[in-house]
Amino acid sequence: MMKSDSVTKGMQQAPHRSLFNALGMTEEELSRPLVGIVSSYNEIVPGHMNLDKIVDAVKQGVAMAGGTPVVFPAIAVCDGIAMGHIGMKYSLVTRDLICDSTECMALAHAFDALVMVPNCDKNVPGLLMAAARLNIPTVFVSGGPMLAGRVKGQKRSLSSMFEAVGSYAAGKMTEEDVKEFENSVCPTCGSCSGMYTANSMNCLTEAIGMGLEGNGTIPAVYSARIKLAKHAGMKVMELLEKNIRPRDIMNEKAFLNALTVDMALGCSTNTMLHLPAIAHEAGVNLDLSLANEISRRTPNLCHLAPAGPTYMEDLYQAGGVYAVMKELTKKNLLYTDLITATGKTVGENIAKAVNRDPEVIRPVENPYSETGGLAILTGNLAPDSGVVKRSAVVPEMMKHEGPARVFDCEEDAIAAIKGGKIVAGDVVVIRYEGPKGGPGMREMLNPTSAIAGMGLGASVALITDGRFSGASRGASIGHVSPEAAVGGPIALVQEGDIISIDIDACRLDLKVDEEELARRRAEWTPKEPKVRTGYLARYEKLVTSGNRGAILEIK
């Protein structure tokens, strides 16, 4: 019996069928499985403006394989457009809205299976969370990455654009130079072209087994992506027939595979928020302490922008995520017997994968580093955790001590950086920007880009209880937990305190004795909530800390 029988079969369902008649559906369509296609299409996100074409292709695939496709929407925020103002408070929080609304639509209308069509930052994890929660046969097909832009013959991307603004503030670029970047770095539709959060999550969707080959890397403008979408529509019908469900795929070992591929690719630090949240919905406890254990044994094989000069189109041409996974199996680093959304195992999926460019995907014998691209830091400044994209940190900043420059919001920090008040050796601390303190845990691409653009990327660190864009680079340590809003040690830092960072040792410490910290702790009082009405006020009441994935939890 299909779930959709409860709305399409029997005398009691005659009223339901009358409403399907109003939709123009035929008896033949109602006799087939109903497949929901969750479309994140809109006209404000560049990564989503092509999703209408992807959705049409999915519909064809579902229909060719004997299903009835039905489209419904999911919202999306463009992180780049939301960056640096109140809009960024509304980015991470949409992840849970996307998950919840998809649950509502899928269960209210008794869909038998789903095809998720996301692309940018929060849609991918939000829909993966929904897939795990609903646990009905599901396949993912994203809209694909943007092609890199070109400025003066060099490939460039959105991170270059933000850094150009910092260079202008430092007097290193003219207005005309910035204009050239502005008109060139984002040349096509698609998720921005580096290994930022959207592309990280789309690649990890392949690694965890919920997307078909190429989901993370086929460029948005390539016709191969239309073919991929048709195959996704066909494949979901196979999964329905075989009753292969998301929780069959997204088990504990699959999440360990995803963490391993994450380390090899050098993904965004935001994956350390999203993977635990997806795991939570799948009934898996993903302790972030595992990340360092996996990092210690996983070589970093890719340096895509912002860590290096290669882009998603280069990763695609080099063999994509499957080629990276094939390299990792040479050191027996992946579980290869796990079932995936292809209907085959991981090992079967990657059996024929080939690394076509050892400069883009380093062989395991010649990695960029013997350890992974991310590191979880702990210490008296981050008792629970902090996260850094190790692969995007210059060697001279892997170990650093400097005086704290303390700011209680992002805007004050940006003004100080662009005003020339931050100097080599400083450690910029931006607090009260965590999940509760923000509320919404804003990304800090503007301050990190300003630091890089002003030539301070090799001498200034930035620490925050907020988070970073995947486009951020440098010694940028985010997700510091517990956050300032709940009285975490980051709330006790004072101007001029010495902060010690040792990324190789995974340490983040405040060089202040415990007696003085105890005195400050006794004097600390919580700040008044920044928002008292609307969704953000409700979110602030329910959200947990960054080290738990900023999941929502009823107290």
Interval 311-345: pLDDT, tens: 999 999 999 999 999 999 999 999 999 999 999 99
DSSP letter at 544 equals -
Predicted local distance difference test score (pLDDT) of residue 169: 87
The pLDDT of residue 430 is above 80: yes
Q: Which value, in Å, is the radius of gyration of the alpha carbons in the chain?
A: 23
Binned at pLDDT 50, 70 and 90, residue 456 comes out as: very high
Per-residue CA distances from 430 to 168, 477, 494 (Å): 23, 10, 12
**pLDDT at residue 1, rounded to an integer:** 84
Instruction: Please give the Cα distance from 509 to 239 (Å, whole number).
Output: 49
Catalytic status, residue 469: yes
Measured CA to CA, the distance from residue 489 to residue 514 in angstroms comes to: 11
What are the structure tokens assigned to 210, written together? 């919920």
The whole-number average pLDDT for the span 364-389 is 97
CA proximity to 160, closest of 180, 142, 140: 180
| Residue 86 pLDDT greater than 90, yes or no | yes
Question: 0.75 exceeded by the pTM?
Answer: yes
Please, are residues 471 and 196 in contact by the beta-carbon 8 Å criterion?
Answer: yes
Band (289; pLDDT cuts 50, 70, 90):
confident
Residue type, 482: P
Strand runs labelled E in 295-381: 375-379
Q: What is the DSSP letter of 492?
A: G
Bridge partners (DSSP) of residue 430 are 407, 464
Closest-CA residue to 139 (of 243, 213, 211): 211
Using the predicted structure, report yes or no on whether residue 555 has a pLDDT greater than 80.
no
Pairing of strands 399-407, 498-502: antiparallel
Question: Tokens for 77?
Answer: 């925020």
- Whether the CB-CB separation of 274 and 95 falls below 8 Å is answered with yes
Task: Give me the chain's average pLDDT, please.
Answer: 96
Please check the confidence at residue 378 and state whether its pLDDT lies above 80: yes
Per-residue pLDDT band at 416 (split at 50, 70, 90): very high
**3-state SS, residue 335:** coil
Residue 554 pLDDT class (50, 70, 90 cuts): confident
Residue 229, pLDDT above cutoff 90: yes
So what's the pLDDT on residue 166? Answer: 87
pLDDT tens by residue, 130-189:
999 999 999 999 999 999 999 999 999 999 999 999 899 889 999 999 999 999 999 999
> Closest by alpha carbon to 232, among 128, 113, 143, 139?
139
What pLDDT does residue 3 have? 96
Mean per-residue pLDDT for 385-394? 95
DSSP result, 91-111: TTTHHHHHHHHHHHHHHHTT-
Q: What phi and psi values does residue 136 have, to the nearest 5 degrees?
A: -115, 155
163-179 in b/e burial notation, b at 16+ Cβ within 10 A? bbbbbbbbeebeeeeee
Among 344, 260, 334, CA closest to 298: 260
Mean pLDDT calculated for residue range 241-248: 98
Q: From the candidates 469, 472, 500, 545, give the one annotated as an active-site residue.
A: 469
3-state secondary structure of 179: helix
Helix, coil or strand: residue 151:
strand
**Section 23-52 average pLDDT:** 98
Strand partners, 139: 115
CB contact at 8 A, 324 and 303: no
Residue keyed to tokens 């694909």:
144
What integer is the mean pLDDT of 283-299? 95
The H or E element containing residue 351 is: none
Burial of residue 42 (CB within 10 Å: 0-12, 13-18, 19+) is middle
How would residue 470 be classed by pLDDT, with cut points 50, 70 and 90?
Answer: confident
For residue 163, what are the CA distances in angstroms to 36, 173, 298, 320, 505?
A: 41, 10, 30, 28, 29
8-state DSSP, 552: B
Q: What is the pLDDT of residue 101?
A: 98
What is the per-residue pLDDT for 453?
A: 87
CA dist., res. 164 & res. 263, Å (int)? 28
Instruction: Check whether 472 has a pLDDT greater than 90.
Output: no
The pLDDT, as a whole number, for residue 84 is 87
Dump pLDDT digits (tens) for 481-537: 999 999 999 999 999 999 999 999 999 999 999 999 999 999 999 999 999 999 999
The angle at the Cα of 274, spanning 279 to 186, to the nearest 5 degrees, equals 145
> Would you state the pLDDT for residue 440?
97
